[in-house]
Every structure is written in C-alpha cells, then in structure tokens.
Structure 1
Amino acid sequence: MLALLIQLFVAAFSSFLVVGLTSLYDPGSVEAGQIEIGVSGDQQSALFEAVQRQSGATPVGYEEPAGAMQAFHRGEVDAVLTATSAPAAEGGGSVIQVSATVPDGSIRTTVVVVQVRQVLKTLERQERVERRGNLEQKPIPLPPEANASPYFGFTYTVLIPLLLFLPPFISGSVAVDSVTEEIERGTLELLRVAPISLVDVVDGKALGMILLAPAQAALWILLLAVNGTAVANPLWTLTLVTAIATVVVILGVVLGLHLGRRRPAQLLYSVVTLVVFGGAVLLPEHPATTAAKLAIDSPTPTTYGHVLGYVLVAVVLYALTRRYVDRIEPESL
C-alpha cells in the first residue's frame, strides 16, 4: 500500500514529470530561452543566415575567429561557430567545414549544443537547396520540415512501458519482503497451526502480488485514457503485465524461501531482475518494445508470439515453484 501511495503522489505531479522527462528524452523539445552564437570564417554569410533561421538563437558576427573566441571567453556569446571553405575530396568544388565551441560542464551546455545542432542542420539543408543545380543527377527530395511534438514518441516508447513494468517489479519486491518477514519473525510457525500447507501459504502470497500488478496497470491505462492518451489492446497488454509479474514474483518468493533473510534476498532479487530484464535485449523483441507496439496498435505476429511465450514461461515456472515449495521441510526455514 505504501508503494501505491508513493506512485499516486508521483502521479499528482505527472504534468511536471512529463515535461522534465521529455526534455531528457529530447532536449530540443523544450524552449530554453535565447542564446547568442558568435559567427566567423570566410563562409560567415551562409552560417549567419542559418543562425538567423533558427528560433532561439541570435548571430553575432566577427571578422576573425580569434575575436569570436575572445568574446566567448568573456561570456559575451554562448557558443562560437567558425565556417571555412575547403576543397572537396572528390569531384572538385568545395565544402564548408564548421568548427563549434560550446561551454564545458555548464548547466546550459545541453541547451547550447541542441541549438548548435539545429543550426548545423539548417545550414546543411540550405546548402543542399542552393547547390542542387550543380549535381548531374536529381537528388532525392528533402522531407518537408515539420514541428512534430516529441510527446507521442516519449509517451508510447518510454512512459507507458515504465508504468506497465513498474507494478510487476514492485510486486516481486513486496513478495520477497512478505516471505522473509514470515521467516525472520517466526510467524510462519503460527500459520502451520491452521489446516493449510506451505504451498497454500505461498500460493496466497504469490497470487495476491501477481494479481495486484495487472490491477494497478489497468488503473494506469485508465488514467492515461482520461488524460487523452489511448492505449490500444488493453487485454493483451494486461496479459503481458500478468506474465511478467508472475515471473518476477516467483523469483522473489524462491529467493525469499531459499535465503530466509530480507537484506540478501532483496539485493539478489534486484540484481537478478536487472540482469534478466537487460538480457531480454537478446530476444527478437524486447518486452518494452512489445508493450509499445501493443499500446500504439501496431503489433506483429512476433509481438503476439512473445506475449504467449511469456505466458507459457510464467505457467511453467509457477508449476515448478509449487513443486519446489512442496518439497521444502518447514523446519528448515
């Protein structure tokens, strides 16, 4: 319940989190104020025009690169771009070489780098347009510029998988605590007074944690839908969450029973979970990719195959775990 309350508290600041996390996912998506870029070199005019076309950047011209660097060190400009003409390696003609100088280790470094990158993209685009008449063959037309929002990609490739996989991992961690606490406090002996077996006790703890994960994921999906972010294939998505939850909860239960102490069991659970989830990159489709494809209603046969594969693995592991628990002597715990 404490974990649920913490997540609810975090969700209350979801708007601020989305803006902050999206800025990490795509720093160029966040307006960061005006910066001044010092421009110099024999190709200054082309670079000056590219900076002028970039919103959020103001060009400051200098006759010599040394003057631009002096202004940069004095803090008069945020970055320096020097454009020079050089002969092309093949076919004659010339190319423009641009050297960039940006702050090192500053909070504004990321913002400046993003702006400089956009300026260089603008310069490349305008040079392609101006020089297309010199080409012997007609080049592939450039795609039209579009101010697309990064929120779509961030939401479906980062945020939704995070919200879907967070509940299973929390359930597995709670399962470790629940089992080791019974063993450390000796309350498992009290449970033996009731006419139930150790398998029944483990079933109750494991199933409770397993069912909690898809229930919480369903609430996340509902909350996203209320906020205008639709998640397609909810049944397949919740099936995926249930299968992943079953695997990690089984892992937590087995480690709790085997180690019997909370601290080493939690540490080993965290390490093994990270290794397994990281090792999933070797699969044809990572679980996060599977969740994203289901959410945007773009699943492939491979996507459905992975979901069914996870379900099969979860069922087999649960059956093996019940056999393992049935062979444990309660006195050995």
Structure 2
Amino acid sequence: MDKRLVVARRELASLRSEKTIVLAVLIQLFVAAFSSFLAVGLVSLYDPSAAGNQFTVEFAVTGEAGDDLAPVVEHEDGWEAVRYPSFDAAMDDFRRGQVHAVVRPALDPDDRAQVTAVAPDGNVRTTLVVTQLRELLDAFESQERGRLASRLERQPVELPPETRSSPYFGFTYTVLVPLLTFLPVFISGSVAVDAITEEYDRGTLELLRVTPLSGIDIVDGKLLAMGVLAPLQAGAWLALLSFNGTSVANPVEILLLVTAFALAVVALAATLALGFRDRKRAQLLFSLGLLVVFSVTYLLPESPANTVAKLAIGTPTRLTHAMVAVYALSAVAGYLAVRWFVGRRGLGE
C-alpha cells in the first residue's frame, strides 16, 4: 500500500501546476463560501417568480369581465391592476411602456371566461412578467371554478391542498447542493484521463515501470489520488454551506455517495485512458460516456441528484438508502474491472 501512496502523493502534488483545475476548485470554493449571497441572484434565474415581491407588475385590465379579474390582481402583493375603457387604449400604454402586460377577459355565451393576454417580447423583464401573468391566470381560473361550482352536475375529485415552498429552499437543495457534490466528481475523472495519458505522451511510464511498482500499483495510486480529491472537496463545500446557514443533513452518507461516484467515474476515465492512450480521444469519449451514464441514471427509480437532495434535506426513504448502496456496489465493480483490465493487458504493452 505504501507504493500506491507514493504514486498518489505524486499525482496530488502535480495538480498544483494545473491552472485549469486550480481555477475550477476556486470557482467552486467561491460558490460555496458565498452561497447565501449568490442564491439571491441565482434563484431569480431558477424561479423568476421569486423576485415578484421586489418588482410590481402592472396589468392593464380591460374587457367586459375586467371587474371579475381586477380583484384577483389586487389580492396579490406585487401586482397592480390598471383599468382601461378599451383594449386599444390599453395597448397604446403597453407599447409606451406604461404597463407591463395587458389582459382582456371576455365571457362567452356559456358564461365561461376567455382571457386574451399580451406580454412584452424581447424585454429584459419578459421572463418575470410572463411568469407573473401565468400565476394570475391560474388564480383567475381558480376563482372562476369556484364561481361556477354550483352548475356542476357531478362533484369532481378534490384538488390537493396548495402548498408553496420557498424558492430559495428548492434551489439550494435541488440545484446548489447536488452541483457542489457532483462537480468535483467530474473534475476528478477528467484529471484522471490526463494523469494516465500524459504518462504515455511524456514517456515517463517506462521510468515508473523500472521501479518496484507494478502496473496495478501505478493505476491504484492514480485512482486513489483522484478518488480522494472529490469527497474532500465535497466535504469542504458542505461545511462552508453549513457555515453560511444552509444546514445539510446526513453529510456522512452524502460523502459516501460522492466517494462511490468518484470511484466509478475515475475507473471509467482510467479504462478509456488505458485503452486509447491519446488524451483528446480519451477526453472526448469520457465526456460522452459520462453524459450517457448520468442520463441513464435518471431512468432509475431515484436519480443521483434526487438522492443527494433527499439526504441533504433530511427526508431520505428506504429507496434513497438502497440507491446509495447500489451506487457503492457499482463503483466497487468498476474499480475491480479496471484492475482486471490492467492485470490482463498491462501498461506498457
């Protein structure tokens, strides 16, 4: 085992000269260290409606059923109804930028409301306005369903109670935490490809071969260095998130999952690097293979991102724990496959 540690220390020491890797680590560090500040801006991209309280959307309301729609607008904070006598007058002010959107509800012969909505096109506020407009139409639909409920001949199935969670909560645990846990895994795999292919390019593999190190020792050392790097980074990011007020439950199991994925991804990278021995081809196939593998995982009963999110929130199920075990066993199988590949083909042949 000491021989493998020597190779692992050599690989970790060489990473300091890799500016791209150092920059990637620093970017992750910045995101984790300032997550509480970055989340405010990033949530606006993840869920534009989260910014609704800081931005008042003015709806131009016109039409014969405008009196029914205006109270719905005024009921919500961040919405303001501006009444217009005609649709043309509302459109004139809309084109001049005095209102953000135009809504014209009209009643058909069956007393059902049909709403014509106009939103800005190509404006920097378009996404937010469209999101708020969609919520307005949902609220108006709920009101109309309640108003016309007495006309129903049969009682429909009751809708589940509406629940609204904080967009910051959803973004943090479904996007930010999985991103910071899996990004080091991807980087470790990419570095593993370079670490092996560069030995062939520089001709230094022959120097390692004349040492007491066997081919398996060399590969084990490289896999150990790259496999340990990912959980160390992920652990640091989780600690920084906790320090910034984002509590993360089940950190040990999350790190176990990261370690399993790191081992599996690094094993895939090592197999491709040993098989092709060319950096460009190996990196291309590694990127495509990683994309395919992670896409396939979303066909599983629970995807890796959902597993991490449930663990971080503190609501894991039996399936969640079972998926962690499946990933761990798969990683061990991948590692054993690499050792078999090296033992059968060797490194220098």
- Where does residue 84 of structure 2 map in the other structure? 62
- Where does residue 312 of structure 2 map in the other structure? 295
- Where does residue 91 of structure 1 map in the other structure? none
1:40 shift after superposition: 1.0
**2:193 partner amino acid:** V
1:51 shift after superposition: 1.9
Tell me, in whole angstroms, the C-alpha distance in 2 between the residues paired with 1:303 and 1:33: 39
- Where does residue 75 of structure 2 map in the other structure? 53
1:142 shift after superposition: 8.2
1:7 to 12, 21, 28: 28
- Where does residue 191 of structure 1 map in the other structure? 208
Paired residues for 1:213-232 under 5 Å: 213-232=230-249
Residues 256/234 of structure 1: CA separation in 2 closer, same or farther (3 Å cut): same
**2:326 partner amino acid:** G
Tell me, in whole angstroms, the C-alpha distance in 2 between the residues paired with 1:145 and 1:127: 20
Q: Alignment RMSD, CA only?
A: 2.3
- Where does residue 312 of structure 1 map in the other structure? 329
Tell me, in whole angstroms, the C-alpha distance in 2 between the residues paired with 1:153 and 1:194: 53
1:101 shift after superposition: 0.6
- Where does residue 19 of structure 1 map in the other structure? 40
**1:279 partner amino acid:** V
Tell me, in whole angstroms, the C-alpha distance in 2 between the residues paired with 1:34 and 1:218: 41
- Where does residue 85 of structure 1 map in the other structure? 107
**1:15 partner amino acid:** S
Kindly provide the CA deviation profile for residues 9-29 of structure 1, in whole angstroms up to 9, marking residues without a partner as x. Answer: 343443343122212221111
Residues 6/193 of structure 1: CA separation in 2 closer, same or farther (3 Å cut): farther
Paired residues for 1:1-333 under 5 Å: 1=16, 2=22, 3-31=24-52, 32-88=54-110, 94-131=111-148, 140=158, 143=161, 148-332=165-349
Tell me, in whole angstroms, the C-alpha distance in 2 between the residues paired with 1:288 and 1:77: 41
Kindly provide the CA deviation profile for residues 192-228 of structure 1, in whole angstroms up to 9, marking residues without a partner as x. Answer: 2211111111100101111111121111221222222
Tell me, in whole angstroms, the C-alpha distance in 2 between the residues paired with 1:279 and 1:152: 27
Give secondary structure in 2 for the equivalent of 1:80.
Answer: strand
Identity of paired residues, percent?
52
1:267 shift after superposition: 1.5
1:65 shift after superposition: 1.8
TM-score (norm 1): 0.89
Gaps spanning 5+ residues in structure 1: where? Answer: 89-93
1:288 shift after superposition: 1.0
Gaps spanning 5+ residues in structure 2: where? Answer: 1-15, 17-21
Give secondary structure in 2 for the equivalent of 1:63.
Answer: coil
- Where does residue 6 of structure 2 map in the other structure? none
1:302 shift after superposition: 1.6
Residues 49/281 of structure 1: CA separation in 2 closer, same or farther (3 Å cut): same
Residues 20/119 of structure 1: CA separation in 2 closer, same or farther (3 Å cut): same
Kindly provide the CA deviation profile for residues 295-314 of structure 1, in whole angstroms up to 9, marking residues without a partner as x. Answer: 22222222222111111111
State whether residues 247 and 314 of structure 1, in contact with CA within 8 Å, keep that contact through their aligned partners in structure 2.
yes
Tell me, in whole angstroms, the C-alpha distance in 2 between the residues paired with 1:34 and 1:288: 34
1:117 shift after superposition: 2.1
Give secondary structure in 2 for the equivalent of 1:37.
Answer: strand
Tell me, in whole angstroms, the C-alpha distance in 2 between the residues paired with 1:255 and 1:181: 13
Tell me, in whole angstroms, the C-alpha distance in 2 between the residues paired with 1:232 and 1:164: 14
Q: Which moved more, 1:256-265 or 1:323-332?
A: 323-332
**Larger RCO (alpha carbons 8 Å, 6+ apart):** 2
**1:156 partner amino acid:** Y
Q: For this pair of structures, how many residues does the alignment match?
A: 326
1:329 shift after superposition: 4.1
**2:51 partner amino acid:** V
Residues 260/109 of structure 1: CA separation in 2 closer, same or farther (3 Å cut): same
Kindly provide the CA deviation profile for residues 99-153 of structure 1, in whole angstroms up to 9, marking residues without a partner as x. Answer: 111011221111111221232233234444555566677885884786x421112
Residues 122/282 of structure 1: CA separation in 2 closer, same or farther (3 Å cut): closer
TM-score (norm 2): 0.86
